[in-house]
Amino acid sequence: MSEHYDLLIVGAGPAGMAAALAAAPSGARIALLDDNPVPGGQIWRDGPGAHLPPLARRLRDGLERHAIPVWSGTRVVAAAGPQALLLEDPTRGWRVRYDRLILCTGARERLLPFPGWTLPGVTGAGGLQALIKGGLPVAGERLVIAGSGPLLLASAATARAAGAHLLRIAEQAPLAALARFTAGLPRWPGKALQAARLFDHRYRAGSHVLEALGDDRLEGVRLWQDGSTVELACERLACGFGLVPNTQLAEALECALRDDAVAVDDWQATSRPHHYAAGECTGFGGSELALVEGAIAGHAAVGEQTQARRLFPRRQRWQRFADALARDFALDPRLKTLARPDTLVCRCEDVPYAALAGRDGWTDAKLVSRCGMGACQGRICGGAARVLFGWTPPAPRPPLSPARIETLLCLEDEA
């Protein structure tokens, strides 16, 4: 048994919610699904320690007002036909068919291996933010945040508000690049105000993590700063090196990629007919770009090209901001040399750097080490291997996430 919708949207972050609300007045039968408990995506993740902005609440209210069904806690297990997906939530598995699909699958944090990065107390920068919003107590803990990009400042602000004692924000981008980026911020006044509000005097440019120190758990961190090493005792280290677009579903649907993101045209249409994509799965640019891309995709998917075209100038404005981010926060090549021979690259299967160095690619690495074959299915080590070795992972095979046997049997029922 399967359900059918005129428009199915995968991902209920800013792009997905904007797409649904743009398409809703057309009268199309729309459904929105997301693997989080409530709409908002990673940027507007809800929880006991979260403080949602008014815009996020307005978008949620809009979904309710238009009576758009939102399937929360729902994952895509596999493509189930020419225009159908196999879905699973905590209670059931089922097929859903669609006439149009919009992929708003977002992005995940890029983690790079360095000695000690698997110690308890070490997380991603965005990961720490999500944990705090979910209720993790950090009051009084000494914290170092390292990596690259505006997420570091946002994570620091969340941790400070929760009572953490922030010691350092280590941004790997050099001071000259940051000065250029800052000088251009007046073109986006809202971003300039946000940067001023989030800035912290413990922020350092041209600084990156070298090693997390400790035996059974994190006890300190060694940083590179101003041509020398600095050691700081701490209980938490949050380290993230930008974002990686979530393209697994797009690849499974045979949508083309460009620069490791889903390739789209002016209408946010992918290379596959009737399939669109918006937000950070098409490239990182922040919530403002995701919102306008989602709205364009929503209008275009229901045949409202005129309304979509009116949003092109706004998208172009925020695309320039995205381009500045990519240029000025490009990763320092020295980050490729952090791992030692015994540093784990694939945490799920305990595969060290030495087992991967010199391999010909993902397939060769899997044959000799099981790299990428653990619970995360290469989502963590895949992004790292892309930076370290230049490997491009093969297209994913179903199931795209762990699934119950009865869910997989839905495919046979429809055969």
**What is the SS3 assignment for 195-246?**
HHHHCCCCEECCCEEEEEECCCCCCEEEEEECCEEEEEECCEEEEEECEEEC
Identify the H or E element spanning 252.
Answer: helix 248-252
CB 260 within 8 A of CB 245: yes
Mean pLDDT of 8-20: 97
Residue 1 has pLDDT above 70, yes or no: no
Mean pLDDT of 222-239: 96
Task: Encode pLDDT of 359-405 as tens digits.
Answer: 998 889 888 888 888 888 888 898 899 999 999 877 788 899 889 99
CB 355 within 8 A of CB 342: no
Contacts of 360 (CB under 8 A, 6+ apart): none
Of 231, 267, 264, nearest in space to 245 by CA = 264
Determine the pLDDT at residue 91: 94
Q: Is 107 helix (H, G, I), strand (E, B) or coil?
A: strand
What integer best gives the mean pLDDT of the chain? 93
Q: Can you spell out the DSSP letters for 123-188? A: E-HHHHHHHHHTT---TT-EEEEEEESTHHHHHHHHHHHTT-EEEEEEE-S-HHHHHHHHHHGGGS
Which CATH number applies to 111-241?
Answer: 3.50.50.60
The pair phi, psi for residue 15, each rounded to 5°, is: -65, -45
> pLDDT tier at 231 (50, 70, 90 boundaries)?
very high
Contacts of 317 (CB under 8 A, 6+ apart): 188
Determine the pLDDT at residue 414: 57
Contacts of 391 (CB under 8 A, 6+ apart): 361, 362, 365, 382, 385
Determine the pLDDT at residue 50: 64
Residue 413 has pLDDT above 80, yes or no: no
Provide the residue count of the chain.
Answer: 415
CA–CA dist 108, 100 (Å, integer): 25
CB 140 within 8 A of CB 233: no
Mean pLDDT of 288-296: 97
Task: Encode pLDDT of 124-162 as tens digits.
Answer: 999 999 899 889 999 999 999 999 999 999 999 999 999
CA–CA dist 4, 76 (Å, integer): 15
Same topology for domains 2-108+244-325 and 111-241, yes or no? yes
Determine the pLDDT at residue 405: 93
C-alpha distance from residue 218 to each of 19, 211, 215 (Å): 42, 10, 7
Q: Map out the domains of the chain as residue ranges.
A: 2-108+244-325, 111-241, 338-415
Residue 415 has pLDDT above 90, yes or no: no
Residue 258 has pLDDT above 70, yes or no: yes
Mean pLDDT of 192-216: 94
Determine the pLDDT at residue 87: 97
Which residue reads 């799920």 in tokens? Answer: 348
Determine the pLDDT at residue 47: 66
For the record, the structure tokens of 239 come out as 């380290």
Task: Encode pLDDT of 33-90 as tens digits.
Answer: 999 988 888 777 776 666 778 888 999 999 999 999 999 999 999 999 889 999 999 9
Angle formed by the axes of helices 287-301 and 312-328, nearest 10°: 140
Which CATH number applies to 2-108+244-325?
Answer: 3.50.50.60
pTM (2 d.p.): 0.94
